[in-house]
A and B are shown apart, each in its own frame.
Chain A
């Protein structure tokens, strides 16, 4: 599941590159950057003969020689002249090393250049430039707490756009972080979180009065806030491949119970609480992929959760105003609204369950 999530955007990116550029001349050079909590590591894989020829041309020597040891021919200096890695606009001075992988039967010899160094304190963005290639190459950046790496195609000498290391744009104040994550939380329900919307509508359909509705919503909220926080702070980790199908099953359960039961049973609150725990894990997964600011972690988690809450209340409020207020007390409400609505929700949930289990 995670594999597919990474693969799809990458494939889309490659396809789009072909469409936009009418197919660029994509070379064999690949650059990957790994950012950890306190260090960076750049791996630049390129054709060994091409690099040797470029070094020879730079030192006005005859081309065709093999690549020597890194300390020979001032490799580090020559490379540093053509590579810029900057954090928040300030270039760093990495340690340079390389290793040559000899040619095999059907693959040419490549050299892997490694640039490493400490991550500047509080770094928010990175920018990469490599001027020593004539073909376009891919830049992949792996960031902490980010589900999918960022992939860009660049030409020689072209600088990447600033790549955000984690979460929000640099220099955001607490208020900006709060606004941003409040909005992200809300939009994760409306319009993007159709599965959570259906679950909340399922809760709404069974409760004609305010009191049972509030009890269910409260149980759900307490539960998902709990697991969202536990998951973000690393206390609980459950893979999405487990959580996502269970969320779909929770929708099916609520819908079926709506069909079978006419009144709120005491166990329903407990069941909704348990399902709330699952949905919280789902929210946490999304929040991890969106990225979190290291400096304003608590602000982001709390406001995201509030945004999710606001989104759910908006769904319930809209359903109440559109349906509940007018028809909630009618005798045919259950027959014409609750039963078909729950059946529909149940079918969609069932479809998602199968889909999420099989892919």
Chain B
């Protein structure tokens, strides 16, 4: 009895020394096994964390998951899945039409050196935060940041027409496409609105990238109405993302809090019949 509890204490002490949390800012997105499917088919969702549209899989984790929902023609419902499993969710889509799927995470916690934090602010277009930091006396030590994810994917069952692409899920930070990309041609501009607590967010950097050429980024700043217009010049899967940061709430133990919104969807090839999708690997 005594020795077991001693080992427990040692393990606790050792792990508290070993667990450190340095991390760079990575994108987060929802990756469905298919973006277009026939009504009645099932689609699997994987949670991806990475950069340039290349990411690692995160299994479904009950402590991390705040909301995992799908909003389609038949209303809003949770996306089921098994804890600890990758893919994180599976959904059968019965009715034809557009379906918005959303995953919202709980807070994660990151500590970075001030220089690394400043580099990350520059990379994510968070100059406003950098300006605030420049005017303040900085606390010593690492910069502590809380962050959470607000990822969405837009899918279509059956023919690509119709509405429902602009359904708002109510995430704290949310990208809302104002045109149906499944009814769009390659090379057209997609208007996207960025909402923060349901209100348009101005001056935020919105970045889009295509799976076939993720190094080439389409960037735009949101206007006073929270809108950007992104010219999508390639067919295939697209990832649009935006980051918003604010001072962390008092008592949270962090200096800053960031929200990461993303939206994934697929653009059809120009003037061609709808391709038969291969199941994802």
Cβ of A257 within 8 Å of any chain B Cβ, yes or no, is no
Number of A-B contacts (CB under 8 A): 154
Cα–Cα distance between A352 and B10 once the two chains are bound (Å): 22
Pairwise interchain contact A21-B109, C-beta atoms closer than 8 A: yes
Cβ of A28 within 8 Å of any chain B Cβ, yes or no, is yes
Question: Within the complex, what minimum Cβ distance (angstroms) separates A250 from chain B?
Answer: 15
Tell me which residues from 78 to 109 in chain A have a Cβ below 8 Å from any Cβ of chain B. Answer: 103, 106-109
Cα–Cα distance between A50 and B12 once the two chains are bound (Å): 32
Indicate with 1 or 0, residue by residue over A8-33, a CB within 8 angstroms of chain B CB atoms.
11001100111011111111110000
Cα–Cα distance between A52 and B105 once the two chains are bound (Å): 26
Cβ of B97 within 8 Å of any chain A Cβ, yes or no, is no
Please, which residues of chain B bring their CB within 8 A of the CB of A25?
28, 49, 58, 64, 105, 108
A172-180, A188-196, A322-330 - the one binding chain B? A188-196
Pairwise interchain contact A50-B23, C-beta atoms closer than 8 A: no
CB-nearest residue of chain A to B10? A9
B85-93, B119-127, B199-207 - the one binding chain A? B85-93
Query: A18-B63, A63-B214 are known contacts. Are A13 and B49 too (CB-CB below 8 A)?
Result: no
Tell me which residues from 267 to 298 in chain A have a Cβ below 8 Å from any Cβ of chain B. Answer: 286, 289
Cβ of A125 within 8 Å of any chain B Cβ, yes or no, is no
* A contact patch SS: mixed
Interface size, A (range) = 35 or more
Tell me which residues from 49 to 76 in chain B have a Cβ below 8 Å from any Cβ of chain A. Answer: 49-59, 61, 63-64
Seed contacts A18-B63, A27-B56, A106-B82; 16 additional CB < 8 Å A-B pairs: A16-B19, A22-B108, A24-B21, A26-B58, A26-B64, A47-B56, A50-B50, A50-B55, A50-B56, A63-B54, A63-B212, A134-B51, A135-B56, A155-B21, A192-B2, A192-B3
Binding site for B on A (CB under 8 A): 4-5, 8-9, 12-13, 16-18, 20-29, 46-50, 52-54, 57, 62-64, 66, 103, 106-109, 133-136, 148, 151-153, 155, 158, 160-161, 192-195, 286, 289, 352, 355-356
Binding site for A on B (CB under 8 A): 1-4, 6-8, 10-12, 15-23, 26, 28, 46, 48-59, 61, 63-64, 82, 85-87, 90, 105-109, 146, 211-212, 214, 280-281
| Top 7 A-B pairs, shortest CB-CB distance | A9-B11, A22-B109, A47-B57, A134-B50, A13-B15, A135-B56, A53-B54
